[in-house]
Amino acid sequence: MESADQFKAVQPLQYYKRFLDQNIRPDGRRLQEARTTTVNVNFCTHANGSAMVRIGNTTVCCGVKAEITTPSVTQPNDGIIVPNVDLPPLCSSAIQSGPPTDYAQTSTKLIDDILVSSNLIEKKDLCIVPSKYVWVLYCDIVCLDLDGNLIDASLLIKLPVVSVNEKTGKLEYDHAKTTSLTLRDEPIATTFAAFDSDAIIMDPTLEEENLCNGSFTITLNKEDDICSLFKPGGTELDNQKLQNCLKHCKRRVNSVRSLMQNAVSS
């Protein structure tokens, strides 16, 4: 047993490859198996909508706060959605306090892009009085425990959050009239990591993310169409592999979707 630990410490990549050759991962998962995922909605009473998602050890929580603001001149009918991914120093030893890290910034941008491309929330729905008042939704995503696969977890959050988002009031002093926001879509992301020996694994842990030579994230919408594919560098990926991943991705998305429906309805 001890020698296995030593082997892992000295040659982590070799150690992993031994496992991958046997079509299994060190934590006992198959290559295309995700970690246990739990979704929990409405944990925070002060937020208009909130959710907490765990994928294995990775824990992410998100609170949405709706506030009233004036719209931009060019788009007087559109509400504003501001996502932000925060990786506080609390969540990992690798992060020091200070301005957001590059990783947090790319994650924020990716989520923003997916929000726009999937048309999750119709911005016109957020309009109160054209060119005067619109809602601004601050979607703040805080990572509490960083153990790989942040993006997937973050995106999962979006959905339950916004679906329970309540809106209050019509004009300024109008009293509580709450309507929930209709969601146009359900984007769900799945991240894969590629090792150079043709092995592609789903839902990598932090350890696996650090070892692999490239990862990519596929986001599917309600109709199982790809609404975003994010691949920041790494090894090349041929069409066949991609198709293969897509298949696994669809399977994963279905299971996640039912998880979320359960969480929201309970």
Partner 1 sequence: MPTDTKRLPVPETSICPSTLIEDISAKKLPLISNNKRRDDRLCTQLRHVYAKLKVISQAQGSAYIEIGNTKVICSVYGPREVKKRDEFSMDGQLCCDFKFATFSCPQRRSHLSDNEEKELSQQLLNALSPAVCLNKFPKARVEIFALVLENDGSAFSAAINCASLALVDASIELYDIPVAACVRYDGVNLIVDPQLNEEYSHQESNLSEENGQVLVAYLPVLKQISALNHVGCLSSKVLNQSMKLCIEATQKMHTIFQECIKEKVKSIMD
Among 2, 99, 223, 266, the residue binding partner 1 under the rule CB under 8 A is 99
The rounded distance, in Å, linking the Cα atoms of 64 and 121 is: 13
Among 2, 22, 28, 46, the residue binding partner 1 under the rule CB under 8 A is 46
146 makes contact with partner 1 (CB under 8 A): yes
Among 12, 88, 214, 234, the residue binding partner 1 under the rule CB under 8 A is 88
103 makes contact with partner 1 (CB under 8 A): no
Closer of 46 and 225 to partner 1 (Cβ): 46
Phi, psi for residue 56 in degrees, rounded to 5? 60, -125
CA distances from 52 to 31, 147, 161 (A): 26, 15, 9
Please choose, from the candidates 192, 224, 265, 216, the residue with its C-alpha nearest in 3D space to the C-alpha of residue 118: 224
The rounded distance, in Å, linking the Cα atoms of 59 and 157 is: 11
Neighbour count for residue 211 (Cβ, 10 Å): 16
Among 59, 118, 154, 163, the residue binding partner 1 under the rule CB under 8 A is 59
38 makes contact with partner 1 (CB under 8 A): no
180 makes contact with partner 1 (CB under 8 A): no
Closer of 33 and 145 to partner 1 (Cβ): 145
Closer of 92 and 261 to partner 1 (Cβ): 92
Question: Strand pairing partners for 134?
Answer: 69, 127
Q: b/e per residue, 118-146, with b = 16+ CB within 10 A?
A: bebbebeebbbeeeebbbbbbbbbbbeeb
CB 90 within 8 A of CB 107: no
- Cβ at position 175, least distance to partner 1 in Å: 6
The rounded distance, in Å, linking the Cα atoms of 219 and 205 is: 19
- Cβ at position 147, least distance to partner 1 in Å: 5
Residue 75 parent element (H or E): none
21 makes contact with partner 1 (CB under 8 A): no
Q: Near partner 1 by CB under 8 A, which window of 8-16, 24-32, 55-63, 227-235?
A: 55-63
Among 28, 73, 172, 239, the residue binding partner 1 under the rule CB under 8 A is 172
Closer of 131 and 258 to partner 1 (Cβ): 131
- Cβ at position 247, least distance to partner 1 in Å: 30
Question: CA 119, 125, 126, 131 torsion: positive or negative?
Answer: positive
Q: Which residues contact 7 (CB under 8 A, 6 or more apart)?
A: 14, 15
Among 14, 89, 232, 262, the residue binding partner 1 under the rule CB under 8 A is 89
Chain residues binding partner 1 by CB under 8 A are 43-47, 50, 57, 59, 61, 63-70, 80, 82-84, 86, 88-93, 97, 99-100, 105, 108-109, 112, 136, 138, 140, 142, 144-147, 168-169, 172-173, 175-176, 206
